[in-house]
Amino acid sequence: MKKKERDEYNKTYGLYKFKRPLPSEIESAMGLVGESILFKKLISADYERFYDPIKMPEEGDWLMTHKEYGQTYNEYIQKGCLQVDKDRNIIYIVRLFNSNDDDLIKDEFFQYIIGLLEAFFSGMKIALIDVENNYINDNDNNDNDNENENENENNENKENNENNENNNNENNNNNENNNNENNNNDKNNENNNNENNNDENNENNENKQQFTGKMPINADLILEKLKEDVPENAFCLFGLIDTDLYTETLLPNGKRLIKATYGKRSIQDRVSIFSFARFDPFFNFNVKEKSLSKEQRFKIYLILLKRICSAITREICYMFGMKNCIFLSCCMNGTSGAEFDSKQIELCPICLRKLITNISAKGYDIKNYRVKNPMVVYDRFVKMRDALENFSGLYENEVNWFNARIDFLKTLI
């Protein structure tokens, strides 16, 4: 390869030289061997016409900086799959709000989200719980309450924000994981190891970089509290919060590493906390909500709503043991900040196959690797179309896609 081509290649495909899977690899990843003919059709018929290939990474994209191997259906079944138990089939959404200004976050907002989740995880129950904000008030914010004024560090914030996004989809082991382990460890370590600074300055610098303008709270403390409240019949309990979060780690040198995070999850304990504070387009700017026009506020509302819908579906899929997808364009593709708004809401056939195994658990013959009622796939498509139609035009393209897919599948049934 000539230098010019090599440079271009490096620029385009990044550190890990991501290659799109071949059609044979995609089909193999679906793991449809043994399934009924109808199920195979509903999952995969003409998939190349309906599902876009995964986008080749560009600078700043997730796959530019992360090595992803993908998780085939068989790998999922053998390792990560968490099936819905008939006694534990409710997804609890816990609404944890610190903000007094509830103008943007109304019940209507959650009606949209719950409606989508009921379709996406068709067959499972979704329950919304409001928790008094004692979760939040009990938190110790003292370490971070003194650096909320500086407006000149938006770039650094942006960088951290993207780093967080980049890590949004990593680490789905059954251990506790930050949802968004930061890539800026090195940077923080550098700060921490800089002996010219005293501890206080170090912490202040980190806080400046990560939390400018916002009062963050400790994700670990909230997660611990949520663990105590997981109902017996919960498949999982998902805390959604409008306040920025951080995690804190004690380093071997005795110093504290404070990292901004979107959230944290413990699959083992069936619990997750997720903050959408950084989804706010004005997160990095100290803009007062009241200074915005009605149109601007509505625009933010829609952006937030769409970002939360993408994040919450993906996060709950992680609770099922699903991992990042590299096979086709999919809601489970790893995502960096810049990619987030172009993310699609639906799963590719491979990830859908994984989800169907879970949500049709009672109708799944594990011994023979066979879904007993293949029509759950078709029914879910219809429910997704109906749910997205309720978003008043926000998902117009997606509704059209579901209609086309449904019309096509009708001819095969």
Question: Rule CB under 5 A: which residues touch Zn ion?
Answer: 325, 330, 332, 348, 350-351
Question: Could you tell me the sign of the dihedral formed by the alpha carbons of 375, 378, 380, 383, in that order?
Answer: negative
- Cα of 324 vs its chain's centroid, Å: 10
Query: Minimum distance from CB of 327 to Zn ion (Å)?
Result: 6
Q: Report the side by side order of strands in the sheet with 271-275.
A: 125-130, 90-96, 234-241, 271-275, 263-266, 176-178
Taking the least distance from each CB to Zn ion, the nearer of 351 and 356 is 351
**C-alpha–C-alpha distance, residues 48 and 279, integer Å:** 32
Nearest CB to Zn ion, comparing residues 273 and 325: 325
Q: What is the DSSP string of 165-208?
A: HHTTT---SSSEEETT--STHHHHHHHHH-TTS-HHHHHHHHHH
Cβ at position 347, least distance to Zn ion in Å: 5
Q: How far is the CB of 374 from Zn ion (least distance, A)?
A: 19
Given the complex with Zn ion, which of 348 and 371 has the nearer CB atom? 348
Location of structure tokens 């100290």: 286
| C-beta closer to Zn ion: residue 49 or 294 | 49
Q: CA-to-CA distance for 371 and 73, rounded, in angstroms?
A: 14
Q: How far apart are CA 316 and CA 276, in angstroms?
A: 15
- DSSP letter assigned to residue 147: -
**DSSP letter string, 275-319:** E-GGGSTTTTTT--GGGS-HHHHHHHHHHHHHHHHHHHHHHHHHH
Q: Provide the token pair at 380.
A: 């879910």
| Least Å from the CB of residue 388 to Zn ion | 18
| 332 or 399: CB nearest Zn ion | 332
Residue 405 Cβ vs Zn ion, minimum distance, rounded to whole Å? 15
At residue 390, the 3 state secondary structure works out as: coil
Q: Which is nearer to Zn ion, 184 or 313 (CB)?
A: 313
Q: Quick one: 220 or 346, whose CB is closer to Zn ion? A: 346
Contact between 239 and 225 under an 8 Å Cβ cutoff? The reply is: no
How many Cα neighbours within 13 Å face the side chain of 41? Answer: 13
Minimal distance, residue 291 CB to Zn ion, in Å: 41
